[in-house]
Structure formats: structure tokens, C-alpha cells
């Protein structure tokens, strides 16, 4: 019988095949007496957190346990994918604990967007989704923007209690936690992990000055995010790295915009008007006539209409149509994880297409 080797740090089963999966350790490490997985290794030696994700059931267990603590919950969302990175129903689980909402990746939004307006918008959207955060903060974990300010705000609201950080995968939570570790832990190796009952994953505890801890919980996978349906190269291209440059299109009725070959918007009716596309700068937008749109996709998906590319075009689920009559005011049509199209004037009828399983929705305009 094959022997199961476990990490001495967290107890996860060691595997040497896939560095991106849990429990990875390089084959050479198997010769050591005490084997430790790469994740624990990095934490121990570099005070650095790696991505960890878990199943819906495990996540529910963790959430339920948060409700029994007395703590401050810090919920991280991705500003670029607000709805896609929202964890629904959070308010039901956290009990009486206050929730501080943190919008990460603020560096991606055009500089013209006012922070105060964005905070107001996030409060409004959070309320619509059933959550009344105690405060809303904007940061860029990657650029290190406003991290210190955030820590001050956390200090103010936690009142000597423990802090739990929650968020779904891809919101930048690991980057965020690593920033916090840099800020709060002068000494090395003070960070600990503990096994969460019933899961193979750890909570990571960062000690705070007064003997309490800031705890990183593993990220939940939000299945309707585009990231889960595309290959690596596509994901790289569709993930914005820099400030998004909005692209404006004046469309007539019965015209279609393709965002690469990943999504499509048909403008059905409402007179000539403008549409403002907010996606990663490197994605190409194609305009065509609605009557030609189906054929174009059939013949040119993965080539003219890319990404997806040849290698992942076949894997991409078929595009599914969502029909919207846009309400009063300025509206965003959101393709979860890919970006959004702002329609400044009300009253248009549009059809928005995204790969099956990817969420498409409308919301009051963010910008
Ligand atoms: P996790 O899955 O939530 O732990 O997310 P990661 O920390 O692995 O980050 C996911 C992706 O978002 C990576 O490509 C990061 O480089 C990127 N990212 C994280 N924080 C920021 C940020 O503040 N701004 C931008 N533009 N990208 C970020």
C-alpha cells in the first residue's frame, strides 16, 4: 500500500505533481525527515501567504464559525468585479459582528473617478445586497495604496477584538494579506497557521500588538466568474493590470460589439447612442451588424475574435443571451470578471451574451 505523507505544518497530504494545487512539495523534499508543503514553507520562511481556496461547504463552515466569535470582519471585494466577487448572504453568517468592506484594485479605475463617489456607490450596492458595512475603504494591495490608512481604520473599529479577513478567490486577498504582514510584523516567523476543523485548509494568524490576531480565511471560489472558464493566456489578457482606458462607441440600432470572443452586446433598439466599454486595455472590441454577428462568431472565434485563442476556444462554453431593457439613469451592463459597458442614457434595449455559467447583470453606473 502506498504511504500517505503529510505536511508537518498543516497536515495536508503531500503531492509532488502540481505546484498550483494544495499540498505541493518538490520531489527532492521527500528525502527530508520533516516534510513541509510549499505553502507552509513560504509562510514559515518568508512570511508570505499563497492562494488557498475551498469548497462551498467548507466555506459555510468557516462562515458559521465566524458568527460565534466576537470580532471585526473585513470583507474584501474586487472593485473591477464587484458583483462577481461579492459573497452572497454574508450578513446572515457574521452574527452581530461589524463588517468593514474593502474594495481592492482601486488602481484599475480611471483616475477621474472620485473616491468619495465610489465609496457611496459601494455602500448603496452593499445595502441592495443586504449588507450594511460599518465603513467602506478603498485600497490597492498590489500598489500598496492606502494600506496603512486601512490598518488605522481596522484598529479603530476592532476595539481590541480579533479580525477576520474574508473574500473570494481572485479579489487579491493573498496580495492584501502579504501587504498587511509587511506592515504589522517587524519580526519574522511570528505568523502561525491553525487547521480549520473539517477542512484541509488553514487559517493564517497574524499577531496584532495587543495579543489579538488578524486571521486570513481561505478564499471561496465564485463559480460564475469568467476566470474559471478560460485558459491561462486568456486570463492574463482579460485581467487588467493598469488603469482602464474607457473606449467609447457610438452605435446605431442593430449593431453588435464583441469583446474579443469572450462576450458580446447587441444594441437592439433606442436610437443612435453611446456605449462606453470598460475592460482590460489589451482586449480588442469588434463592431459588426447584428445580422452578421452569429456568423462572424461561428467563423472567427479564436482568430479575429480572440481571446479565447486556438487552444482554449473549444473549451469556452457557448455564449448565452441575457436581454435587458435599461432603466432610468446611467447603467452598467456587467460581465462578471471581464468588465462592463456603461450606457449613459436610459431606455435602450440590449442583449448581452456571455459564456454559459458566467453572470451578466445590470447596475447603476459605477463611473
Ligand atoms: P486571491 O486569490 O484573492 O488570493 O488573489 P491574489 O492575491 O492571488 O490576486 C489575484 C490577482 O489580482 C493577481 O493577478 C494579482 O496580481 C491581482 N491583484 C491583487 N491586488 C491587486 C491590486 O490592488 N490591483 C491590481 N491591479 N491587481 C491586483
The whole-chain average pLDDT of the chain stands at: 89
Q: 252 and 300, same structural domain?
A: yes
Q: In the predicted model, is pLDDT for residue 321 greater than 90?
A: yes
Q: How far is CA 209 from CA 44, 56, 216, 274, in A?
A: 20, 33, 17, 53
CB atoms near residue 3 (< 10 Å):
4
CA of 14 to the centre of ligand 1 (A): 26
Which of 110, 141, 172, 240 is the pocket-test mutation for ligand 1 (most atoms within 8 Å of CB)? 172
Q: In the predicted model, is pLDDT for residue 38 greater than 80?
A: yes
Q: Does the interface predicted TM-score (ipTM) exceed 0.85?
A: yes
Q: In the predicted model, is pLDDT for residue 337 greater than 70?
A: yes
Q: 144 and 193, same structural domain?
A: yes
Q: 67 and 32, same structural domain?
A: no
Nearest ligand 1 atom to the CA of 104 is: 23
- Domain end point (choices 220, 239, 268): 220
- Domain end point (choices 164, 195, 220): 220
Q: 208 and 98, same structural domain?
A: yes
Q: 331 lies in which domain range?
A: 228-364
CA of 140 to the centre of ligand 1 (A): 9
Q: 63 and 205, same structural domain?
A: yes
Q: 42 and 57, same structural domain?
A: no
Cell representation of residue 229: 472558464
- The backbone torsions φ and ψ at residue 115, rounded to the nearest 5 degrees and listed phi first, read -60, -40
What is the arithmetic mean of pLDDT over 44-64?
72
Q: 160 and 90, same structural domain?
A: yes
Q: How far is CA 123 from CA 126, 127, 228, 282, in A?
A: 5, 6, 28, 31
Q: 255 and 171, same structural domain?
A: no
Question: Ligand 1: residues whose CB is within 6 Å?
Answer: 51, 104-105, 107-108, 140-143, 167, 169-175, 219, 239, 241
Cell representation of residue 251: 452605435
* CATH code (residue 109): 3.40.50.300
pLDDT at position 325, please?
95
Measured by CA distance, the residue closest to atom 22 of ligand 1 is: 105
Which of 142, 165, 228 is the pocket-test mutation for ligand 1 (most atoms within 8 Å of CB)? 142
Measured by CA distance, the residue closest to atom 5 of ligand 1 is: 172
CA 293, CA 280: separation in Å to the nearest integer? Answer: 22
CA of 210 to the centre of ligand 1 (A): 29
Q: In the predicted model, is pLDDT for residue 224 greater than 80?
A: no
CA 200, CA 245: separation in Å to the nearest integer? Answer: 41
Q: 206 and 163, same structural domain?
A: yes
Residue 105, Ramachandran bin (φ over 0: left; ψ between -120 and 50: alpha; else beta): left
Residue 23, Ramachandran bin (φ over 0: left; ψ between -120 and 50: alpha; else beta): left
pLDDT at position 104, please?
97
Q: 60 and 42, same structural domain?
A: no
**Contact call for residues 224 and 357 (beta carbons, < 8 A):** yes
Q: 209 and 61, same structural domain?
A: yes
Q: How many CA atoms lie within 13 A of 6 on its CB side?
A: 7
Number of domains in the chain: 3
Tens digit of pLDDT for each residue in 180-197?
988 887 654 566 666 666
- Domain end point (choices 220, 236, 270): 220
Banded model confidence at residue 331, pLDDT cuts 50, 70, 90? very high
Q: 250 and 192, same structural domain?
A: no
Nearest ligand 1 atom to the CA of 51 is: 4
Amino acid at each position: 500500500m502506498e504511504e500517505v505523507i503529510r505536511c508537518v505544518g498543516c497536515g495536508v497530504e503531500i503531492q509532488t505533481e502540481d505546484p498550483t494545487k494544495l499540498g505541493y512539495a518538490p520531489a527532492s523534499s521527500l528525502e527530508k525527515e520533516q516534510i513541509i508543503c510549499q505553502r507552509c514553507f513560504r509562510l514559515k520562511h518568508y512570511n508570505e501567504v499563497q492562494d488557498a481556496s475551498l469548497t462551498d461547504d467548507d466555506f459555510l463552515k468557516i462562515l458559521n464559525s465566524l458568527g460565534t466569535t466576537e470580532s471585526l470582519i473585513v470583507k474584501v471585494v474586487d472593485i473591477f468585479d464587484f458583483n462577481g466577487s461579492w459573497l452572497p448572504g454574508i450578513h446572515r453568517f457574521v452574527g452581530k459582528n461589524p463588517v468593514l468592506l474593502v474594495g481592492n484594485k482601486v488602481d484599475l479605475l480611471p483616475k477621474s473617478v472620485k473616491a468619495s463617489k465610489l465609496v457611496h456607490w459601494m455602500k448603496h450596492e452593499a445595502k441592495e445586497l443586504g449588507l450594511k458595512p460599518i465603513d467602506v475603504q478603498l485600497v490597492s494591495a498590489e500598489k500598496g495604496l492606502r494600506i496603512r490608512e486601512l490598518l488605522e481604520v481596522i484598529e479603530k473599529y476592532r476595539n481590541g477584538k480579533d479580525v477576520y479577513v474574508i473574500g473570494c478567490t481572485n479579489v487579491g486577498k493573498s496580495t492584501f494579506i502579504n501587504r498587511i504582514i509587511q506592515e504589522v510584523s517587524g519580526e519574522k516567523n511570528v505568523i502561525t497557521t491553525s487547521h480549520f476543523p473539517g477542512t484541509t485548509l488553514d487559517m493564517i494568524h497574524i499577531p496584532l500588538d495587543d495579543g489579538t490576531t488578524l486571521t486570513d480565511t481561505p478564499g471561496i471560489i465564485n463559480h460564475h466568474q469568467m476566470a474559471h472558464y478560460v485558459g491561462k493566456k486568456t486570463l492574463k489578457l482579460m485581467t487588467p493590470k493598469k488603469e482602464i482606458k474607457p473606449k467609447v462607441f457610438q452605435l446605431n440600432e442593430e449593431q453588435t460589439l464583441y469583446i474579443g470572443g469572450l462576450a458580446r452586446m447587441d444594441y437592439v433598439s433606442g436610437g443612435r447612442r453611446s456605449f462606453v466599454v470598460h475592460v482590460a486595455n489589451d482586449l480588442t472590441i469588434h463592431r459588426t451588424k447584428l445580422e452578421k454577428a452569429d456568423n462572424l462568431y461561428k467563423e472567427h472565434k479564436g482568430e479575429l475574435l480572440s481571446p479565447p485563442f486556438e487552444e482554449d476556444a473549444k473549451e469556452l462554453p457557448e455564449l448565452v443571451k441575457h436581454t435587458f431593457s435599461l432603466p432610468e439613469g446611467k447603467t452598467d451592463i456587467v460581465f462578471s470578471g471581464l468588465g462592463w459597458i456603461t450606457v449613459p442614457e436610459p431606455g435602450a434595449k440590449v442583449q448581452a451574451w456571455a459564456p454559459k455559467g458566467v453572470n451578466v447583470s445590470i447596475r447603476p453606473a459605477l463611473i
